[in-house]
């Protein structure tokens, strides 16, 4: 476990960028990404195209692995342990069991303890986060609402998870049993949080980050690093925006620095109003 979560510790304070080609992976690495997420379509395109979204073609993942020296992550469908086995055999550095792809199992997530490769999973609240950790996830990310360029859902998820952690630390022993019941989470993990005041694995933010200011916001709320999906390569000028978001995550507590890097980046990705969505990806996962 120490080795598996160790890589997540090393990614803290960094930006993980979605890329669909080796050329984009190069741009991400040049901009200072700590890792890339290799996928066939960014969430905004998955949302637009519809249909079943699956694990990427191994050729595409291998092309990206060959193009960069930083860690390469890839997505498997929720519950699709065979896709995860394939990704592990390709040597990806992290598997994202992701709601952005179409779920393969309506009640079971992957048993992540049975893998050598570490997993990251999305969560919308503390109970979901703890269930994923109990299944062996070594990193939790907020789900947000991928492919929208709208930060509101990620903020809701971060506030929910971190707010409940703060409440749990105030609970007495008897109340912790009730917390475990309410959260539908293992008592042992709830007791551990009451003791330490934080999740036992790093918590990153994903879903809707489009600007340096968005990155600063979620870092100040308590995220330890950020994933940027469509926000970079669906913007007008990806390279400078990617670099600016990297700088904003490092200097998130310094508004003058965030202001400096926010200047003249061109148009951000066009955003979507959450109320007008047909499909809410964050509702996938159990």
Partner 1 sequence: MSAVVGVLALQGASREHTAALERLGVIVQQVRLPQDLVGIDALVIPGGESTTISMLLESSGTFEPMAQLLHEGLPVLGTCAGMILLAGDVLDGRPDQKTFAQIDIAVRRNGFGRQVASFESDLKIEGFEEPFPGVFIRAPVVQTVDRSVEVLASVELDGGKQSPALCRQGNVIVSSFHPELTDDLRIHQMFLANLN
Cite the active site residues.
Answer: 75
* Coil vs helix vs strand at 95: strand
Taking the C-alpha atoms of residue 17 and residue 73, their distance in angstroms, rounded to an integer, is 10
Span of 113-121, 123-131, 203-211, 214-222 interacting with partner 1 by CB under 8 A: 113-121
When the beta carbons of 88 and 214 are compared against partner 1, the nearer one is 88
Span of 45-53, 116-124, 228-236, 272-280 interacting with partner 1 by CB under 8 A: 116-124
When the beta carbons of 5 and 41 are compared against partner 1, the nearer one is 5
Question: Is 3 near partner 1 (CB under 8 A)?
Answer: yes
Question: Is 104 near partner 1 (CB under 8 A)?
Answer: no
* Coil vs helix vs strand at 158: helix
Taking the C-alpha atoms of residue 170 and residue 191, their distance in angstroms, rounded to an integer, is 11
Judged by CB under 8 A, which of 42, 246, 248, 282 binds partner 1? 246
Query: Strand 15-19 vs strand 226-228: parallel, antiparallel, or unpaired?
Result: parallel
Judged by CB under 8 A, which of 54, 200, 251, 277 binds partner 1? 251
Taking the C-alpha atoms of residue 153 and residue 284, their distance in angstroms, rounded to an integer, is 14
Question: Is 11 near partner 1 (CB under 8 A)?
Answer: yes
Question: Is 240 near partner 1 (CB under 8 A)?
Answer: no
When the beta carbons of 29 and 145 are compared against partner 1, the nearer one is 29
Taking the C-alpha atoms of residue 232 and residue 16, their distance in angstroms, rounded to an integer, is 11
Contact (CB, 8 A) for 77 and 109: no
Phi-psi region of 232 (alpha: psi -120 to 50; beta: other; left: phi over 0): alpha
When the beta carbons of 214 and 224 are compared against partner 1, the nearer one is 224
Question: Is 140 near partner 1 (CB under 8 A)?
Answer: no
| Least distance (Å) between residue 10 CB and partner 1 | 5
- Residue 203: which of 117, 132, 142 has the closest Cα? 142
Which residues contribute to the site for partner 1 (CB under 8 A)?
2-4, 6-7, 9-14, 29, 31-35, 69-71, 88, 91-94, 116-118, 243, 246-247, 249-251, 254
């Amino acid at each position: 476990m120490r080795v598996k979560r160790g890589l997540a510790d090393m990614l803290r304070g960094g930006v993980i960028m979605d890329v669909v080609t080796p050329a984009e992976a190069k741009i991400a690495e040049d901009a200072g990404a700590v890792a890339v997420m290799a996928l066939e379509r960014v969430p905004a395109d998955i949302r637009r195209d519809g249909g079943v979204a699956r694990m990427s073609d191994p050729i595409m993942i291998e092309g990206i692995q060959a193009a960069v020296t930083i860690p390469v992550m890839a997505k498997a469908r929720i519950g699709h342990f065979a896709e995860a086995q394939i990704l592990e055999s390709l040597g990806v550095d992290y598997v994202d069991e992701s709601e952005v792809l179409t779920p393969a199992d309506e009640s079971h997530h992957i048993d992540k303890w049975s893998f050598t490769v570490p997993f990251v999973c999305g969560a919308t609240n503390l109970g979901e986060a703890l269930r994923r950790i109990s299944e062996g996830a070594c990193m939790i990310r907020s789900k947000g609402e991928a492919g929208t360029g709208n930060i509101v859902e990620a903020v809701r998820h971060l506030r929910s998870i971190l707010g409940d952690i703060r409440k749990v630390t105030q609970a007495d022993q008897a109340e912790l049993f009730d917390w475990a019941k309410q959260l539908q989470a293992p008592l042992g993990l709830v007791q551990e949080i009451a003791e330490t005041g934080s999740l036992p694995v790093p918590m990153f933010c994903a879903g809707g980050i489009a600007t340096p200011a968005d990155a600063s916001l979620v870092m100040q709320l308590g995220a330890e690093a950020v994933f940027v999906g469509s926000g970079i390569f669906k913007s007008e000028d990806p390279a400078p925006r990617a670099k600016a978001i990297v700088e904003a995550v490092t200097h998130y507590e310094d508004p003058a620095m965030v202001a400096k890097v926010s200047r003249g980046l061109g148009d951000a990705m066009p955003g979507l109003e959450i109320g007008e969505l047909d499909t809410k990806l964050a509702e996938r996962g159990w």
